Structure 1
């Protein structure tokens, strides 16, 4: 079954372009349009839509705020943001967006978003609105103007870079505009542990602890790499890290030699 979509943008030329490009997608059978969030809510109350393609910066209710309202719907449409601003991606995915497109809109990139909408509809899957509760959370990363989605379970460790964080995953390293402290809080229930003020590690990727003189490092298996990386462990985090590793009966920490014993 083809998609019925709602396009929302307060700038007429941008809205016309979005409607035109959506009309070129074979999966789209119907398109309605709205010039602001209030009009969009009126459309949503009168008709059912499979997806809403939504600008972020609009007068009155913003696109992010409108998406937040949609989370209260029993069967909300998939949300795809279409915006000229690249600094709202994290906010967008926190309200359950399926995709995040940057203007000027490219037809091939729009086709990818349509494919994601179709996949979400066919599987009955909708992104969680509470990221910490979603075991398959994806993180939007920007590279050369293209937004890609990195699955959290592909990330081995995270490094603080000022107010940013660098994600080390099986697709490489990616810089995102979100503090390490925020990720540590959001992902604490998903197997990530703060081991140092500058590092967050995925516990399933930990292969051991190693003593380096008076300090200790944690060995983390990097996805796609044969060798583990060694990251410093602060004294403040040492006991909690050991306790977590011991409590997990599925974890196998190598001991002996110059490897530290997690039982302390």
Structure 2
């Protein structure tokens, strides 16, 4: 849609109805500055989802930029993320994997609670006993695939 709606109302009992109609956010009165800021952040995330072409990160007090096309896979590392590039460099990013998934382009998929990959990097998927799956990437790296993510991954790759 070319526009997004945020409803601000004292009738919080109608919030569910508002979301069913497609509003981006519902803010109950009385509201705080923090709540307004959260709505603006939600708008920003929604507005730019899939448009991020590069990520910024700090290395030795220098602001660096990484093209998302250069990402081989991303692994959760506590409150941070470890990004492994196609030339096998590891970059520690200050955002959690959940947050990175909100800004990365559509071609990235969370395949495990601790891993995300660009779909075009998948060479094949191997099944092991006990319903364990491993995605083998073109680079030669291997990434675990969660049982609950397997069929979604196969569907995404089959299209």
- Same fold by TM-score greater than 0.5: yes
Residue 173 (structure 1) aligned with residue 90 (structure 2): yes
From 49, 58, 73, the equivalent of 1:132 is: 49
Residue 196 (structure 1) aligned with residue 108 (structure 2): no
Residue 244 (structure 1) aligned with residue 141 (structure 2): no
Conservation of the 8 A alpha-carbon contact between 1:201 and 1:220: no
SS of aligned partner of 2:141: strand
- Runs of 4+ that moved beyond 6 A: none
From 235, 247, 261, the equivalent of 2:147 is: 235
Conservation of the 8 A alpha-carbon contact between 1:199 and 1:231: yes
- Structure number, greater radius of gyration: 1
Report what 2:127 is aligned to.
211
Report what 1:151 is aligned to.
67
Deviation at 1:144, TM superposition (A): 1.5
1:109-162 C-alpha deviation (Å, 9 max, x unpaired): xxxxxxxxxxxxxxxxxxxx9542426x21112111211100111101100001
Provide the rounded CA distance (Å) in 1 between the counterparts of 2:47 and 2:137.
27
SS of aligned partner of 1:211: strand
In structure 2, the gaps of 5 or more residues are: 1-36
From 193, 218, 221, the equivalent of 2:138 is: 221
Provide the rounded CA distance (Å) in 2 between the counterparts of 1:133 and 1:229.
25
Conservation of the 8 A alpha-carbon contact between 2:71 and 2:86: yes
In angstroms, what is the RMSD of aligned CA positions? 2.4
Q: Where do residues 88-127 of structure 1 align in structure 2 (5 Å cutoff)? A: none
**Structure 1 length as normaliser, TM-score?**
0.40
Report what 1:73 is aligned to.
none
Q: Which has the higher contact order (CA 8 A, sep 6+)?
A: 2
SS of aligned partner of 1:238: helix
Report what 2:102 is aligned to.
185
Query: Matched residue pairs, number?
Result: 116
Q: Which has the higher strand share?
A: 2
Deviation at 1:170, TM superposition (A): 3.1
Closer/same/farther in 2, CA of residues 145 and 165 from structure 1, 3 Å limit: same
SS of aligned partner of 1:190: coil
In structure 1, the gaps of 5 or more residues are: 1-64, 69-90, 96-128, 223-227, 248-264
Residue 161 (structure 1) aligned with residue 77 (structure 2): yes
